[in-house]
Chain A
């Protein structure tokens, strides 16, 4: 599982690649948490994630709750159709703003 961070237009862009499951989620969560701070603007680029388990979904929601509690904002981009469907059906998608591409994500922060 890869976690690649970059700053684009003052937005924290975190690109995940690999499978997000019970084995990888705790490590990914720890890394992302180091990047959060009050009022953080974050885009999670999921285009490299091919599989997400229940633990992966939970990690996303914990991260969302943490960022929201610090008045930050997080947007998901690049969800595969499978993962988007899974998130929709299990209710996790309800919490997130999600957009097709990284550019779409950056635009919401520049508005």
Chain B
């Protein structure tokens, strides 16, 4: 039956119109036309601005008649548009009174906050037209992707191994050999590498549309262009970044990203997005008008009583996340990515900001975090918080979790780094970290802990064992940017060296880090390239570098095959042994009558861990009969960690019956005997004990 609303009721300059539906917000296809809906609680009037694709000036500007407004929402159906060749925006009229928080300026054309695709930075790095009256333009998008039988994978949290990566960095380097370097399609071509590595989740650094030219500048020393490379500054929350898609120039970035997600899922790999809701690309009072600032400044931003921008993000402005209107757009956004893109999880940048009230004070029961935790569409999505912000709120262990939220465990990173470099007196702390940090997440279980030693912020693993200090000169800020508390150690020489002993020690230290990360309860996260010793030449804050400081050099696969092999086998080993992947905390007691506690602690002597202030070594045994809380039976595992610069003899716990200790890994012996294929571990000749070389980790399997 034909619908009545397929016919126009109004006309403006030849365009056929009809009052629209206020919901859903954004631009939606309806029979014969497009429904445009946008809201502003303080604007006095609104105009829809339409462009032919790429044209300098609008083709028409259609004011919303009064009868097209319901509440604070302006909505209109425009008939007969050429979907593929239209760009749209809005003008908002209203008061300009910064002290009261209003910054309306009808001379600006504003981006729809709900824009599903955005043109203007179609191809990465292509020089923008700075005179453009409307630089980031909303496009119309088909939402009819054919997912066939795909849906989010719902891999249990405790079974994940996360790989944190930047879309462009992964394949931009010429050595990647992919047809379309630096794109979503490039990742797809590298699927075999990810599968061989064994990770089952990739976490993409920002892919929401951002402007790589935001605050771009020339480094006075090198003459190099410095960009907003990482992309932690959002232009549009609903749009994938065009410049990260090989088909962005055709406006097909939506389909390209969906096709990538579908292909990753087909290969058993989940996709997490790193989402930045704490601030936007509009900066402070000196920043540009892109969207929110001109639509409803005081609704979307946290403002001081004088009307200036609060800066809890360290980047100029702070999104007003616990205003009910802003809360809804965040929720709409995540629902959109979960349902339209089949995204499996989200990592929230500076998430503590999301728990501040409209005046910046931390809330004890933040409604936004609660809404996300209980939302039906997000019910199976993993939610991960970076549980701190630039305003001094540090909530590792105390982030409001509602039984759902996991955290980037900064204390795991710091403790493991200090232990690794040989600081004494850390065994008590390390025991907590290895168990999934029950001291932090007592009631939440180890799956609340995302364990990592390195992430995009800070040193890569190779740099962690090769530099004592950051070397950020290439960022053009006099080496003042980036963190100073790196807990790193260069193994005897700052930076790259031909010294064979130092390089051997670095290799061992990287293996030690990988081993300790992958035998810990909780969810391990690996930084892209650490498995092949990627370096940033000591730069611990490469946010602005569109060059080999960020690009993964695939030649390292040839030169660092030893490390790659160690990672591949260690990941497979973890995934083969449920004893590493408990959902609930270990009890340090025998709960199944096996004769052993689920986890027991040892030192050079069995049953005698050294918790003293001078200790640099620790061993533990996981009892296989306690795997998954005693629900499944696994082999027993013994791990000894000697972070001392001397070798030590470790007595081994005696196994019951005719079980024998087998060697899975020993970082103290040369490759290929450093690690074995899961299931093919050689039996240990002397079952009474094992000598650990200096700064070494041993992993044994009892079976």
Give me the interface of A with B, judged by CB distance under 8 Å.
21-23, 53-55, 57-58, 61, 85-86, 88-92, 94-95
A sample of 21 inter-chain contacts (CB < 8 A) reads: A21-B84, A22-B83, A23-B82, A53-B84, A57-B252, A58-B144, A61-B146, A86-B250, A89-B245, A89-B247, A90-B247, A90-B255, A90-B259, A91-B145, A91-B255, A91-B256, A91-B259, A91-B262, A92-B255, A94-B148, A94-B259
Q: Are B84 and A89 in contact (CB under 8 A)?
A: no
- On chain A, the residues within 8 Å of B183 by CB distance are 89
B180 proximal to A (CB < 8 A): yes
Q: Are A54 and B146 in contact (CB under 8 A)?
A: no
Choose among B84, B142, B250, B258 the residue that contacts A91 (Cβ–Cβ < 8 A).
B258
Cα distance A21–B142 when bound, in Å?
A: 14
Of the residues A21, A61, A86, A94, contact of B252 by C-beta under 8 Å: A86
Q: Does B622 contact A (CB under 8 A)?
A: no
Which of B83, B85, B142, B259 contacts A89 (CB under 8 A)? B259
Contacting pair A90 B84 (CB below 8 A): no
Interface size class of chain B, counting residues whose CB lies under 8 Å from the partner chain: 20 to 34
Contact B146 A89 (CB under 8 A): no
Query: Is B145's CB under 8 angstroms from A85's CB?
Result: no
The verdict on B480 contacting chain A, using a C-beta distance below 8 Å, is no
Q: Is B698 an interface residue (CB 8 A)?
A: no
Q: Indicate whether B188 reaches chain A with its CB closer than 8 angstroms.
A: yes
Closest to A88 in B: B185
The listed residue with most A CB atoms (<10 A of its CB), out of B84, B85, B263, is B84
Q: Residues of A contacting B255 with CB < 8 Å?
A: 54, 57, 89-92
B residues near A58, Cβ cutoff 8 Å: 142, 144
**Which chain A residues border B262 with CB–CB below 8 Å?**
91
Known: A21-B84, A22-B82. A89 touches B246 (CB 8 A): yes
Could you tell me if A89 and B256 are in contact, using CB atoms closer than 8 angstroms?
yes
Assess the A89–B82 pair: CB atoms within 8 A. Answer: no
Judge whether B179 is part of the interface by a CB distance below 8 angstroms: yes
Contact B85 A90 (CB under 8 A): no
- Does chain A have a CB within 8 A of B184? yes
Interchain CB contact under 8 A, B146 and A55:
no
Contact partner, A53, options B185, B188, B250, B263, Cβ 8 Å: B250
Closest chain-A Cβ to B632's Cβ sits at a distance in Å of 37
In the complex the two chains form, is B247's CB within 8 Å of A86's CB? yes
Total cross-chain contacts (CB, 8 A): 58
Q: Does B20 contact A (CB under 8 A)?
A: no
- Of the candidates A23, A61, A88, A89, the one having the most CB atoms from chain B within 10 angstroms of its own CB is A89
B251 within 8 Å of A by Cβ? yes
| Interface members, chain B 142-189 (any A CB < 8 Å) | 142, 144-146, 148, 179-180, 183-185, 188
- B251: nearest residue on chain A (CB-CB)? A54
> What's the Cα separation between A54 and B144 when bound, in Å?
11
Q: How far is the CB of A22 from chain B (nearest CB, A)?
A: 4
New contact pairs (8) apart from A53-B84, A91-B263, CB-CB < 8 Å: A22-B84, A53-B250, A54-B250, A54-B252, A55-B83, A85-B246, A90-B252, A91-B256
Residues of chain A within 8 A (CB-CB) of B263 are 91
CA–CA, A54 and B250, complex, Å: 8
B188 contacts A89, C-beta separation under 8 Å: yes
Pairwise interchain contact A89-B145, C-beta atoms closer than 8 A = no
Residue in B85, B185, B255, B256 with the greatest tally of chain A CB atoms within 10 Å: B255
Which 8 A-B residue pairings sit nearest by Cβ, starting from the closest? A91-B259, A90-B255, A22-B84, A89-B185, A89-B256, A90-B252, A90-B256, A90-B259
Please name the residue on chain A nearest to B141 by beta carbon. A54
A74–B142 CA distance with the chains assembled, in angstroms: 24
- Find chain A residues with CB under 8 A from B246 CB: 85, 89
Closest CB in chain A relative to B79 CB, distance in Å: 15
A16 to chain B, nearest CB (A): 18
Which of A53, A54, A55, A58 counts the most B-chain CB atoms under 10 A from its CB?
A54
Q: Which residue of A lies closest to B262 (CB)?
A: A91
Tell me the residues in window 45-92 of chain B with beta carbons closer than 8 Å to chain A beta carbons.
Answer: 82-85
A61 proximity list for chain B (CB < 8 A) = 146
Smallest CB separation, A25 vs chain B (Å): 9
The answer to whether A89 and B180 have CB atoms under 8 Å apart is: yes
Complex Cα distance, B85 from A53, in Å, reads: 10
Shortest Cβ distance from residue B341 to the other chain A in the assembled complex, whole angstroms: 12
Report the minimal beta-carbon distance from A82 to chain B, rounded to whole angstroms: 10
Separation of A88 and B82 alpha carbons in the complex (Å): 25
Query: Among A21, A85, A90, A95, which residue has the most Cβ atoms of chain B within 10 A?
Result: A90
Query: What 1/0 flags go to B117-157 for Cβ under 8 Å of A?
Result: 00000000000000000000000001011101000000000
- The reply to whether A54 and B142 contact each other, CB–CB distance below 8 Å, is yes
What's the Cα separation between A71 and B84 when bound, in Å?
Answer: 32
Q: Nearest-CB distance from B195 to chain A (Å)?
A: 18
Q: Give Cα distance in the complex from A21 to B180, angstroms.
A: 23
Task: Name which residue of chain B comes closest to A90, CB basis.
Answer: B255
**Chain A positions within 8 Å of B145 at CB level:** 91
Closest-CB distance, B143 to chain A (whole angstroms): 11
Q: Provide the residues of chain A in CB contact with B142, threshold 8 Å.
A: 54, 58
What's the nearest-Cβ distance from chain A to residue B329, in Å?
26
Q: How far is the CA of A21 from the CA of B82 in the complex (A)?
A: 10
Q: Does the CB pair B146–A95 fall under 8 Å? A: yes
Contact of A89 with B251 at beta-carbon distance under 8 Å, contacts A53-B84, A55-B83, A58-B144 already known: no
Residues of A within 8 A of B82 (CB): 22-23
Residues of chain A contacted by B148 (CB below 8 angstroms): 94
Residues of chain A within 8 A (CB-CB) of B84 are: 21-22, 53-55
Write out the residue numbers on chain B whose beta carbons fall within 8 Å of the beta carbon of A22. Answer: 82-85
B257 nearest CB across to chain A (Å):
9
For A81, give the chain B residue with the smallest CB separation. B179
Nearest opposing residue in chain A for B245, CB measure: A89
Question: A21 vs B85: C-alpha distance in the bound complex, in angstroms?
Answer: 10
Q: Which A residues lie within 8 Å of B83 (CB)?
A: 22, 55
Q: Which of B372-420 contact A (CB under 8 A)?
A: none
Distance to closest chain B CB from A43 (angstroms) = 22
A94 to B83, CA, bound (A): 25
Residue with the highest number of chain B CB atoms closer than 10 Å, among A22, A57, A91, A95: A91
Complex formed: what's the CA distance from A90 to B257 in Å? 8
- Residues of B within 8 Å of A55, CB to CB, are 83-84
Tell me the bound Cα distance from A69 to B188 in angstroms.
Answer: 30
